[in-house]
Amino acid sequence: MKRRGCRIVAWLAGGALLLCIVAAGVSGLTNLYLPRGPARLDRLDDLDKARLAESLHLREALGEATWPGLGQADIPLVIWNREHSFLIGFPQAPAGWEEVPDDTFAGRPYYRQRTHDPQNFAVQIDGRWAASMATKHETDLAFREQFQQSLPPILKQIFPYRLLIFTSETQITAVLHESFHVYQAAVAPALFAAADQVYGQADRYWELDATMHASWTAEIELLVAAAQAETDDQSRELARQFLERRAQRRAGLAPALADYERKLEWLEGLAKYAELESWRQAATSADYAPVEALSADPDFRAYRNFEQHSQQELNQMRRQATRAGEVRFYYTGLVQGLVLDRLLPGWKARALGEEMYLEDLLHEAVGRTGAAER
């Protein structure tokens, strides 16, 4: 029996090794067939155009439901890859841009220039703000290259990189994220400028971050629980605990660093909210139909992946508690917005109209004033 047991263990070990070898071979083989991206980078290809058309269609059809005023705003777009940037929504080529020859977008000319200092944010062109976002292939490629750098050499060839390809909804709604920054700049220019300047406090803030990890973890858990609570009363109580915990953590924090948090939650958290809410609107609207051209996109799921994506976002938020970087405030701002949807209807009308940050509105939602905590 003992020898038989040894033979079984050896057989299982050999079988496991064989499975690993087969899996590695299959993984390496699938990497040979990863999407190659556009054949030309000096113009938008058909999938780039389809995704961009869907971003515009989504904002026009459901932008008002996502955020009042967003659907009607005039927002030019810059879509870029590592070689060229493309400008859509300008009546003529600004200085430094040229019309893309022998091509149009939605039946109209669009413009290009060589890519330099690309950003996923709002950028100024000829005195106008435009929403700037990488193409989906550029985002996928950059993420894959960054991930490869963290792998040991033996795994770089066999890791299943197809798992790192984003769905098209991620890029489509990211364009709305950056478009919301343009909307913030147009509707609340002073608040937008003040929030943009707060990055100057970053080094000072992140030097202290490690001392706040435990408190941040507790804050984020309370905030997630408030968003997921079964009743509004439970949500209100958890939101109150979140605000109390935040006030305790900030007791020894310089006012400028507390403002760093508030302003980034306003700047990036609201844009993240617009990104996720537009996805939710598309997923739950009974009569919304994506543009027909997306039927040829293998990475588009017709927004049916919203619930899975939403849960992934909450899980990602939890991980930010101990990670340096302003991405944390994308999520804490986003989820405060989700809680305000429940507890303070009409909050969006005030979020851009006065110096009122998300936590101030949340204080009001739980029956307290922001000033009482300052």
Domains in the chain, number: 2
User: Distance (Å, rounded) from C-alpha 294 to C-alpha 54?
Assistant: 8
Query: Residue 368: what pLDDT?
Result: 53
User: Distance (Å, rounded) from C-alpha 371 to C-alpha 374?
Assistant: 5
Judge if 138 and 88 occupy the same domain.
yes
Judge if 180 and 205 occupy the same domain.
no
Provide the mean pLDDT of the chain: 90
320 found inside a domain: yes
Tens-place pLDDT, residues 298-344:
999 999 999 999 999 999 999 999 999 999 999 999 999 999 999 99
Query: Residue 152: what pLDDT?
Result: 87
Return the H-helix or E-strand segment holding 271. Answer: helix 270-284
Judge if 272 and 318 occupy the same domain.
yes
Query: Residue 30: what pLDDT?
Result: 55
22 found inside a domain: no
SS3 132: strand
Query: Residue 32: what pLDDT?
Result: 54
pLDDT band for position 9 (cuts 50, 70, 90)? very low
317 and 219 Cβ atoms separated by less than 8 Å: no
Helix axes 306-319, 213-228, angle to 10 degrees: 160
Query: Residue 116: what pLDDT?
Result: 96
User: Distance (Å, rounded) from C-alpha 159 to C-alpha 155?
Assistant: 6
Q: Which residues contact 318 (CB under 8 A, 6 or more apart)?
A: 217, 220, 221, 224
Return the H-helix or E-strand segment holding 129. Answer: strand 128-134
Judge if 272 and 216 occupy the same domain.
yes
Rounded to the nearest angstrom, the gap between the alpha carbon of residue 234 and the centroid of all alpha carbons in its chain is: 28
Tens-place pLDDT, residues 165-177:
999 999 999 999 9
pLDDT band for position 158 (cuts 50, 70, 90)? confident
Listed residues 126, 159, 186: the one ending a domain: 186
70, amino acid identity: L
147 found inside a domain: yes
308 found inside a domain: yes
Q: Which residue intervals of 105-167 are DSSP H helices?
A: 136-149, 153-156
**Strand 77-80 relative to strand 128-134: parallel, antiparallel, unpaired?**
parallel
With 50 as the cut, is the pLDDT of residue 371 above it? Answer: no
Judge if 163 and 204 occupy the same domain.
no
User: Distance (Å, rounded) from C-alpha 228 to C-alpha 311?
Assistant: 11
Query: Residue 374: what pLDDT?
Result: 38
pLDDT band for position 148 (cuts 50, 70, 90)? confident
Judge if 76 and 212 occupy the same domain.
no
Higher-pLDDT residue of 101 and 32 is 101
Domain that holds residue 248: 189-373
**Region 220-248 average pLDDT:** 98
Query: Residue 241: what pLDDT?
Result: 98
Judge if 118 and 265 occupy the same domain.
no
Judge if 82 and 217 occupy the same domain.
no
303: left (phi over 0), alpha (psi -120 to 50) or beta: left
9 found inside a domain: no
**Strand 84-88 relative to strand 121-125: parallel, antiparallel, unpaired?**
unpaired
With 70 as the cut, is the pLDDT of residue 19 above it? Answer: no
Global pTM value: 0.89
Judge if 152 and 195 occupy the same domain.
no
**Region 122-144 average pLDDT:** 96
pLDDT band for position 120 (cuts 50, 70, 90)? very high
Retrieve residue 182's tokens. 């343009």
Judge if 314 and 294 occupy the same domain.
yes
328 and 302 Cβ atoms separated by less than 8 Å: no
345 found inside a domain: yes
Judge if 201 and 107 occupy the same domain.
no
Judge if 249 and 178 occupy the same domain.
no
Higher-pLDDT residue of 136 and 157 is 136
Listed residues 148, 163, 186: the one ending a domain: 186
74: left (phi over 0), alpha (psi -120 to 50) or beta: beta
176 found inside a domain: yes
364 and 339 Cβ atoms separated by less than 8 Å: no
1 found inside a domain: no
Query: Residue 283: what pLDDT?
Result: 98
Query: Residue 16: what pLDDT?
Result: 40
Retrieve residue 364's tokens. 């009001």
366 and 343 Cβ atoms separated by less than 8 Å: yes
Tens-place pLDDT, residues 265-311:
999 999 999 999 999 999 999 999 999 999 999 999 999 999 999 99
Task: Tell me, letter by letter, the H, E, C secondary structure of 151-190.
Answer: CCHHHHCCCCHHHHCCCHHHHHHHHHHHHHHHHHHHHCHH
Listed residues 186, 204, 235: the one ending a domain: 186
